[in-house]
């Protein structure tokens, strides 16, 4: 059996993490050895998966075959630090960079760094583990591709061009601008210094000099990850919740993913309707409950139409599935199994 | 003129943008000159209010209310213009592919520039901001805390030069509860309420900001029991919702914060929904 990767993308708060875990559970029930990589799971989901406070892949407690279900949290700082150490071959350069103020600041708040570490963790698990399937939950994204582009952007930042800016080792004392080749670059740096101050530039120079020598490694890694993501081994699922603006956003999202050369398999509209709702049923005949029922009825009928329009526009391109709103929360493996069954009933395969 | 900054945050999917709009409408209705700002590259309000476009420059939207969309690179560019004043130099910088990547990747620059823009009126730095209130539809919880921490972190990493100075100035405004207000939006559900509790603790502890809480999408449950001809699943849904709502409201009241409730509004008309929310916000 060849290794597969399934990536869940979408905005925050739509139930992406839970659905990713539920889909992993389904695959494990079918006999596969599955790893689910989550970013920032809720406490309950983390304890359900048995990964609370752990950073290594862990077998999900209570799950009994026929396959295997493993889970892991992407520890952002740890993944990043490990990557730096590996890339620098544990040279003194690595120590230096780990202590650099700017590195700390960048990796804790860097906008693309969470995306980077999620993909790095995915790739190392893909290479090192013997899983049939790896399910990746991703950080909330404003646009779908920001997640996929982050490593390339980080790589571009670390590439030859910028290293060249800071290559002169004596520059720090002598005013390193003077020795840098190219008037254009000199001007760019001057402007940056004007904006930020010389101390910032010094930290930056220090940072880029420390990483010199492993940009190649970073570039190779980035391109390998990209190859994996656009290959036949990987498919994407976009999770969205219902509202008109969100659906419009998802439509743009879906097109963006496909244009990037990735295989978008499914759009999951989560919480499209409540479990109690039945379009065929009639509500209470009088009183405030009648008004309440009819309010919901009108709302969901209208919503159904919006979703149909949405599905129609994406028809033939991807599979669009609707899932009901769960009234219960996932507290344990039984709860997760319940979500998995709903996912399956909704047409997931 | 005094200016207040109102940040609206909360867990993803709780209706931050909607509540931010309602808060801004409310301020405008009370006669204050208000700017409603979105952060990032993509506008929610454009689709939500079905507008032609929303850009960096504030545009009139309603009486007393303007709209804008501020991204990191654009804010940085404006900051650069203010500081350097030579358009051709700025062009060189922003068209250089390496610095473009640097700007996109490092929130150190980009997010500080956004915060710089948000606080520019109060700090009297940059183009005039003729507003009494700026309502910011901010990031979700985790990213929002990172945003608030960015200036202090940067001020520590870089003590001297304009970067350090600006960072300190921004941090000062953000820690001043007279100038900076935070509204945490939540749903009456376990996960967002838990996140709200944690966020409030951090905001009070680390930033000395006492946020107010907006409990969104509260179902108006009739006081009497459901009639006998109500479908069973529906009656059950109403009763579970009532219990859950009561439990969550009690937990939030224990946080001892100003608490407003916005009802679940079953309408696809955004204007109507916002106007209804405006009536109940305190």
- Answer whether residue A292 shows pLDDT above 80: yes
Q: Do A184 and B146 touch (CB under 8 A)?
A: no
Domain that includes residue B71, residue range: 4-220+256-280
What is the rounded end-to-end Cα distance, in angstroms, of chain B? 23
Q: B219: distance to nearest CA of chain A, Å? A: 9
> Between the ranges A116-125, A276-285, B110-119, B182-191, where is the mean pLDDT highest?
B182-191
Number of structural domains in chain B:
1
Cα separation, A226 vs A228, whole angstroms: 5
- Answer whether residue B195 shows pLDDT above 80: yes
Tell me the CATH number at B34. Answer: 3.40.50.300
Interface of B with A in 204-263 (CB under 8 A): 220, 222, 224, 226-227, 229-231, 233-234, 236-238, 240
Q: Which two tokens stand for residue B212?
A: 């107010």
Q: Which residues of B touch A306 (CB under 8 A)?
A: 268
How many other CB atoms sit within 10 Å of the CB of residue B250?
Answer: 9
Alpha-helix residue ranges (DSSP H) falling in chain B: 16-29, 44-48, 72-84, 87-95, 97-105, 107-118, 120-123, 141-157, 161-174, 190-207, 232-254, 270-280
Nearest to B108 among A105, A185, A327 (CB): A105
pLDDT at B97: 64
Helix (H, G, I), strand (E, B) or coil at A268: strand
Share of chain B above pLDDT 70, in %: 94
Alpha-helix residue ranges (DSSP H) falling in B119-189: 120-123, 141-157, 161-174
Backbone angles phi, psi at A190, to 5 degrees: -65, -40
ipTM above 0.90, yes or no: no
Is B136:B119 a contact under the CB 8 Å cutoff?
Answer: no
Q: A130: distance to nearest CA of chain B, Å? A: 33
Q: Do A12 and B47 touch (CB under 8 A)?
A: no
Average pLDDT, chain A: 79
Q: Which two tokens stand for residue B53?
A: 């476009």
Residue B225, in any domain of the structure: no
pLDDT tens digits, residue range B200-225?
999 999 888 889 999 999 999 998 88
> Which of A44-53, A199-208, A273-282, A300-309 is predicted least confidently?
A199-208
A289 touches chain B (CB under 8 A): yes
Question: Helix B107-118 to helix B161-174 angle, to the nearest 10 degrees?
Answer: 50
- Answer whether residue A182 shows pLDDT above 60: no
Helix (H, G, I), strand (E, B) or coil at B65: strand
Q: Which residue has the higher pLDDT, A331 or B10?
A: B10
- Answer whether residue A115 shows pLDDT above 80: no
Cα separation, A341 vs A326, whole angstroms: 12
Chain centroid offset of residue B97 CA: 31
Average pLDDT, chain B: 88
pLDDT at A277: 83
Q: Which of A198, A242, A276 to mutate to test the interface with B (most CBs of B within 10 A)?
A: A276
By CA distance, what is A42's nearest residue in B? B191
Residue B216, in any domain of the structure: yes
Query: If pLDDT is split at 50, 70 and 90, which confidence band does A175 have?
Result: very low
Q: What percentage of chain A's residues is helix, strand, coil (to nearest 5)? A: 55, 15, 30
- Answer whether residue A27 shows pLDDT above 90: yes
pLDDT tens digits, residue range B119-141?
999 998 888 899 999 999 998 88
Helix (H, G, I), strand (E, B) or coil at A148: helix
Residue B163 CA: distances (Å) to CA of A196, A314, B167, B259: 4, 47, 6, 37
Residue B238, in any domain of the structure: no
B276 touches chain A (CB under 8 A): no
Cα separation, A105 vs B88, whole angstroms: 31
Which of A6, A1, A11 shows the shortest CA–CA distance to A229? A6
Residue B243, in any domain of the structure: no
Q: Cβ neighbours of residue A316 under 8 Å, at least 6 residues apart? A: none
Q: Are strands B65-70 and B4-10 parallel, antiparallel or unpaired?
A: unpaired
H or E segment at A68?
Answer: strand A68-73
Eight-state DSSP code of residue A176:
G
Q: B15: distance to nearest CA of chain A, Å? A: 10
pLDDT tens digits, residue range A208-232?
666 666 667 777 888 888 899 999 9
Cα separation, A199 vs B159, whole angstroms: 7
pLDDT at B94: 73
Cα separation, A275 vs A272, whole angstroms: 10
A286 touches chain B (CB under 8 A): yes
pLDDT at A266: 93
- Answer whether residue B53 shows pLDDT above 90: yes
Interface of A with B in 259-278 (CB under 8 A): 274-276, 278
Summarize the confidence of residues A170-193 as an average pLDDT.
Answer: 54
Instruction: Give me the domains of chain A, ranges plus CATH numbers.
Output: 4-91+111-147+226-345 (3.40.50.300), 167-211 (no CATH)
Is B280:B260 a contact under the CB 8 Å cutoff?
Answer: yes
Establish, for the pair of chains A and B, how many residue pairs have beta carbons separated by less than 8 Å: 194
Strand order through the sheet with B34-39: B59-62, B65-70, B34-39, B133-137, B4-10, B180-186, B212-218, B259-263
Residue B97, in any domain of the structure: yes
Residue B10, in any domain of the structure: yes
By CA distance, what is B11's nearest residue in A? A13
pLDDT at A180: 43
Q: Do B93 and A192 touch (CB under 8 A)?
A: yes
How many other CB atoms sit within 10 Å of the CB of residue A309?
Answer: 10
B109 touches chain A (CB under 8 A): yes
Chain centroid offset of residue B108 CA: 20
Summarize the confidence of residues A14-27 as an average pLDDT.
Answer: 92
Residue B130, in any domain of the structure: yes
Summarize the confidence of residues B46-72 as an average pLDDT.
Answer: 94
Interface of B with A in 27-46 (CB under 8 A): 40-42, 44
Eight-state DSSP code of residue A213:
T
Q: Do A199 and B236 touch (CB under 8 A)?
A: no
Query: If pLDDT is split at 50, 70 and 90, which confidence band does A101 have?
Result: low
**pTM above the 0.90 mark?**
no
Interface of A with B in 84-103 (CB under 8 A): 101-102
Q: Which residue has the higher pLDDT, B91 or B273?
A: B273
- Answer whether residue A90 shows pLDDT above 90: no
Residue B233, in any domain of the structure: no
Nearest to B104 among A143, A153, A187 (CB): A153
Share of chain B above pLDDT 90, in %: 52
Q: Do B266 and A327 touch (CB under 8 A)?
A: no
pLDDT at B86: 73
Q: Which residue has the higher pLDDT, B14 or A139?
A: B14
Residue with tokens 């219990």, as numbered in its chain: B243
By CA distance, what is B230's nearest residue in A? A284
Q: Which residues of B touch A244 (CB under 8 A)?
A: 47-48, 268
> Which of A172-181, B16-25, B91-100 is predicted least confidently?
A172-181
Query: If pLDDT is split at 50, 70 and 90, which confidence band does B173 have?
Result: very high
Q: B132: distance to nearest CA of chain A, Å? A: 28
B66 touches chain A (CB under 8 A): no
- Answer whether residue B29 shows pLDDT above 60: yes
């Amino acid at each position: 059996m060849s290794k597969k990767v399934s990536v869940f993308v979408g905005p925050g708060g739509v139930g992406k993490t839970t659905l990713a875990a539920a889909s992993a559970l389904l695959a494990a029930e079918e006999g596969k050895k599955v790893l689910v990589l989550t970013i920032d799971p809720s406490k309950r989901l983390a304890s359900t998966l048995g990964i609370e406070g752990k950073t290594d892949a862990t077998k999900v407690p209570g799950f009994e075959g026929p396959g295997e279900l493993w889970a892991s949290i992407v520890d952002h700082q740890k993944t990043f630090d490990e990557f730096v150490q590996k890339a620098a071959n544990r040279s003194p350069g690595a120590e230096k960079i780990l202590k650099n103020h700017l590195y700390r600041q960048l990796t804790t708040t860097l906008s693309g760094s969470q995306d980077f570490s999620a993909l790095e963790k995915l790739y190392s698990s893909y290479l090192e583990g013997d899983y049939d399937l790896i399910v990746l939950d991703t950080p909330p994204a404003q646009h779908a591709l920001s997640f996929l582009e982050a490593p390339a952007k980080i790589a571009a930042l670390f590439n030859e061009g910028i290293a060249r800016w800071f290559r002169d080792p004596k520059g720090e004392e002598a005013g390193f601008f003077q020795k840098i080749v190219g008037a254009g670059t000199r001007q760019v740096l001057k402007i940056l210094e004007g904006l930020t101050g010389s101390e910032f530039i010094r930290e930056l120079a220090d940072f880029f000099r420390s990483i010199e020598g492993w940009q190649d490694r970073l570039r190779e890694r980035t391109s390998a990850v990209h190859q994996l993501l656009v290959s036949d081994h990987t498919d994407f699922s976009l999770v969205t919740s219902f509202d008109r603006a969100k659906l419009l956003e998802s439509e743009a999202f879906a097109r963006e993913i496909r244009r990037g050369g990735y295989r978008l398999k499914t759009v999951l509209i989560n919480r499209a309707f409540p479990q109690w709702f039945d379009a065929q049923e009639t509500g209470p005949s009088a009183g405030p409950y009648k008004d309440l029922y009819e309010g919901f009825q009108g709302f969901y009928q209208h919503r159904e139409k919006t979703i149909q329009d949405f599905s129609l526009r994406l028809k033939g391109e991807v599979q669009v599935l609707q899932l009901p709103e769960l009234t219960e929360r996932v507290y344990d493996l039984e709860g997760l199994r319940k979500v998995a069954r709903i996912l399956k009933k909704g047409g997931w395969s | 003129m005094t200016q207040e900054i109102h940040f609206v945050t909360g867990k993803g999917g709780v209706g931050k943008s909607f509540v931010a709009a309602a808060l801004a409408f409310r301020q405008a209705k009370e006669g204050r000159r208000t700017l409603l700002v979105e952060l990032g590259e993509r506008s929610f309000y454009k689709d939500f209010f079905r507008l032609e476009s929303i850009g960096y420059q504030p545009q009139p939207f309603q009486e007393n209310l303007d709209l804008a969309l501020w991204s990191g690179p654009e804010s940085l560019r404006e900051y650069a213009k203010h500081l350097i004043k030579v358009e051709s130099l700025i062009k060189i910088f922003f068209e250089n592919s390496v610095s473009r990547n640097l700007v996109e990747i490092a929130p150190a620059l980009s997010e500080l520039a956004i915060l710089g823009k948000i606080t520019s009126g109060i700090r009297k730095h940059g183009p005039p901001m003729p507003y009494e209130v700026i309502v910011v539809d901010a990031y979700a919880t985790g990213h929002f805390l990172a945003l608030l921490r960015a200036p202090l972190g940067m001020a520590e990493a870089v003590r001297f030069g304009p970067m350090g100075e600006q960072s300190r100035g921004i941090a000062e405004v953000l820690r001043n509860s007279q100038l900076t207000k935070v509204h945490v939006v939540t749903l009456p559900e376990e996960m967002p309420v838990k996140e709200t509790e944690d966020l409030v603790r951090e905001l009070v502890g680390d930033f000395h900001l006492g946020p107010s809480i907006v409990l969104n999408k509260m179902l108006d449950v009739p006081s009497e029991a459901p009639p006998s001809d109500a479908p069973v699943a529906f009656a059950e849904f109403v009763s579970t919702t009532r219990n859950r709502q009561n439990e969550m409201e009690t937990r939030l009241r224990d946080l001892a914060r100003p608490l407003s409730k916005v009802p679940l509004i079953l309408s696809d008309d955004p204007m109507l929904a916002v106007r209804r929310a405006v009536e109940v916000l305190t």
